[in-house]
Amino acid sequence: MIDRQPIDTYARQISDEKQTSVITGSTASTDKRFNALFTDYADPDSLRKLAAKIKDHTLHHLDTYLEQAEASLQRNGVTVHFADSGDDARETVLNILRGHEVTQLTKSKSMASEEIHLNPYLIENGIEVLESDLGEFIIQLDGDEPSHIVRPIIHKNRREIARTFQREGIAEDYNDDPGTITRRARVHLREKYMLAQAVITGGNFISAESGRLVLVTNEGNTRFGMAPSKVHIALVGIEKLVPTDRDLGVFLNLLGRSATGQQLTVYTEFISGPKDDSQPSGPEHMHVVFMNHGRTDVLDSNCREILRCIRCSACQNVCPVYRQASGHAYRSPYGGPIGAVLSPLLFGDRFPELADLPKASSLCGACNEVCPVDIPIPDLLLRLRDKAKRAHIPQPGDLPMTPFATLATSPSLWRTAMTMSKAMNHLPIQVAPVRPLQDWLGQRTLPDWHGGDFRKWLKARKEK
Amino acid sequence: MSRDTIFQKIRSALEPIKEKAAHPGFEEAMLISPVRTAGSPVEAFSRNFTTVNGRVMSTLEEVIDLLRAQNHQVGYCDPSLMETLGRPLADAGFEVRTEYCRENYDDYDFGITRATGGIAETGSIILDDAHTSDRLAALSPWVHIAVLSRAAIHPSVPAAIAHLGSSRNIIWVTGPSKTADVEGILIEGVHGPGEQIAFLVD
Ligand code: SF4
């Protein structure tokens, strides 16, 4: 029996309710994106192409720009760290926290930290971690995993959230009005923010020229978390650089519009160092941890274009496979087309296990069309499929081609098979030897099989 | 040493790339949306700020009406803005404090601080730490009133970037704090202000 691909299995397991949440959410985001870009610009495509070129340039000179960024940050009073592996990154963060005697912190949404499972590690080591983004906070309460890059709880509906709040004592009664849910979170979270000694953030961009770290959020959680904190740690992938401040304009114009259809995300923060004398408040210590965690392997592959990604989630929202399967089906923090390419590459040791992801695509090309940095995702998916083939990684769902080849090369066998196949009209679908075929047949009625009729017709045909 | 390892890995990954992409260069005009910047910077700012659910005001009466309608009483005012708004509001019966006390962050219904600039194209206000008396005063109250000089409004995002300045912390605020985490429904006032006001002065 040929089994389903893991992603299909996931897709079949999610409830109708969850699937509706995901489909409605992602469709709405796709529409907003389109409206924002096409109302504002006559030729938004030229912007995407420009952004792609700037990113390629940066990646092709990554050593130079990383060195420059390091120097700029140090000049601004930031302590710069480098972490090659996930383990290195986790230890580095923990050591910084221990150095400042931090026992309690807030964290704002960061994909880099999700990659290396930073939260559980810090908690095991006795540090109290509070996710400050509303969605991530709910994920934390539920012990769940985010299923979308920008909207981590796209798979949850208001009733589930209301039950969580009641269960966790954040609310005394059950109330599933989204406004009330948000208000309750506001009261609960700000009290906690004020107790934090440190804040951990990611970074959307770093300008190598000025060392400005750019953070974007809609809720204002990062800024709130930063208010009482003495220490700010930014965990940033080494590919997040742009050459100059001027280049930031290109990416800021594209990020909000592509992600949520906003011209700019509500809070766009430029941080270039710890508090100086001119400032009344702000963290006194700032650390930037540049994390590799597989990125140089991607740079060394024929899929390096994926490092242009600015994590906007537009490809995820538009993807028909993601909409059906939801983010968890991709078994990594990155769901949808970006995950299908990035995860098998980034988590190199898990390649065999994730090698089915590049196949979970109909190559319709929508992901490339919406990508603000013009990543040729379908091409990269094909390259990865090829890589899996070369590595001889057997895949559930791979059709055995040998029997077909034998049939197709022997006319007499073919004839017999065609006639015999008429029996298929009367067989139950369960006997189909391939699970995906069973699934497919389960939802469709095929016309009756007429195997061999063409040959009969051809023979009987009179020459004109 | 992670640092050396990373640089080594980058260099060996880049080595086989024969044609390294050059920086494409670009004209700023390419980034600017003609629709959003139409009209004078003040007009464009007002239009775009309103689109993101901010409120543009220029008279004391408008501020008083809103605060009364929403039943707000206690607020903070940057001492240097007392003449502009603080004292007149106090005269109208509001309690206006010139010190923001972090322990009592929940006391304040409104906060009045200075915006160092604005961006017409996106309807954003710019807060620069060096000129904001307390970051939290612009964040914790339900209503944030940013006093913004009309002349400080930059026409576009590229123009605002060109004038970022040297402060260690600069933030562009484009509308009230918001989330769409719960079923994609837009809710304002998540952690920051639910009402964002730009009070324009000359
Ligand atoms: S691959 Fe492109 S569309 Fe997808 S998240 Fe990254 S930048 Fe956005």
What would the pLDDT profile of B36-61 be if each residue is shown by its tens digit?
Answer: 999 999 999 999 999 999 999 999 99
What would the pLDDT profile of A424-459 be if each residue is shown by its tens digit?
Answer: 666 665 665 556 556 655 666 666 767 667 777 777
Mean pLDDT over A149-174 rounds to: 88
Residue B3 within any structural domain of the chain: no
Distance from C-alpha of A270 to C-alpha of B170, rounded to nearest angstrom: 5
Q: Model pTM?
A: 0.89
Give residue for tokens 């300045």.
B165
- Cα A424 vs. chain centroid, distance in angstroms? 42
Residue B91 within any structural domain of the chain: yes
Q: What pLDDT is stored for residue A98 in this prediction?
A: 97
CB contact under 8 A, A267 and B173: yes
Contact map slice: A 127-146 vs B, CB within 8 A: 132-135, 138
CB contact under 8 A, A246 and B162: yes
Cβ burial, residue A390 (10 Å; 0-12/13-18/19+) = exposed
Confidence of residue A404 (pLDDT cuts 50, 70, 90): low
The CA distances from residue A52 to A142, A305, B20, in Å, are 38, 9, 14
Q: What pLDDT is stored for residue A446 in this prediction?
A: 64
- At B84, which CATH number? 3.40.50.10420
Closest by CA position to B176, among listed B159, B166, B191: B191
Residues whose CB is less than 8 angstroms from the CB of residue B37 and which lie 6 or more positions away in sequence, other chains included: B44, B120, B121, B155, B156
Residue nearest to atom 4 of ligand 1 (CA): A315
Confidence of residue A12 (pLDDT cuts 50, 70, 90): confident
Antiparallel, parallel or unpaired: β B178-179 and B187-188: antiparallel
Mean pLDDT over B76-84 rounds to: 96
Cβ A271 vs Cβ A286: under 8 Å = yes
Mean pLDDT over A255-266 rounds to: 91
Residue B158 within any structural domain of the chain: yes
Q: Which residue of B has its CA nearest to A237?
A: B6
Q: At B58, which amino acid appears?
A: S
- Structurally, chain B folds into a number of domains equal to 1
Q: Which of A62, A264, A277 to mutate to test the interface with B (most CBs of B within 10 A)?
A: A264
| Structural domain range at position B138 | 32-201
Closest by CA position to B177, among listed A193, A201, A266: A266
Residue B136 within any structural domain of the chain: yes
Closest partner CB to A269 (pick from B11, B162, B171): B171
Q: What pLDDT is stored for residue A464 in this prediction?
A: 62
Confidence of residue A152 (pLDDT cuts 50, 70, 90): confident
- Ligand 1 atom with the smallest distance to the CA of A342 is 1
Distance from C-alpha of A165 to C-alpha of A134, rounded to nearest angstrom: 12
Residue B15 within any structural domain of the chain: no
Q: How many helices (H) and strands (E) does chain A have?
A: 23, 10
* Dihedral (CA of A8, A14, A16, A21) sign: negative
What would the pLDDT profile of A76-107 be if each residue is shown by its tens digit?
Answer: 999 999 999 999 999 999 999 999 999 999 99
CB contact under 8 A, A292 and B9: yes
Residue B16 within any structural domain of the chain: no
Q: What pLDDT is stored for residue A37 in this prediction?
A: 82
Average pLDDT over chain B, rounded to an integer: 94
Residue nearest to atom 2 of ligand 1 (CA): A371
Average pLDDT over chain A, rounded to an integer: 86
Q: What pLDDT is stored for residue B32 in this prediction?
A: 95
Residues whose CB is less than 8 angstroms from the CB of residue A168 and which lie 6 or more positions away in sequence, other chains included: A141
Helix crossing, A245-260 with A16-40: angle to 10°?
A: 130
CB contact under 8 A, A76 and B185: no
Residue B187 within any structural domain of the chain: yes
Q: What pLDDT is stored for residue A449 in this prediction?
A: 66
Q: Domains in chain A, please, with CATH? A: 7-296 (3.40.50.10420), 410-463 (no CATH)
* ipTM confidence: 0.96
Neighbours of A412 (CB within 10 A): 7
Binding pocket residue ranges, ligand 1, CB within 6 Å:
A 309-315, 338, 370-373, 375
- Three-state SS for B169? strand
Residue B76 within any structural domain of the chain: yes
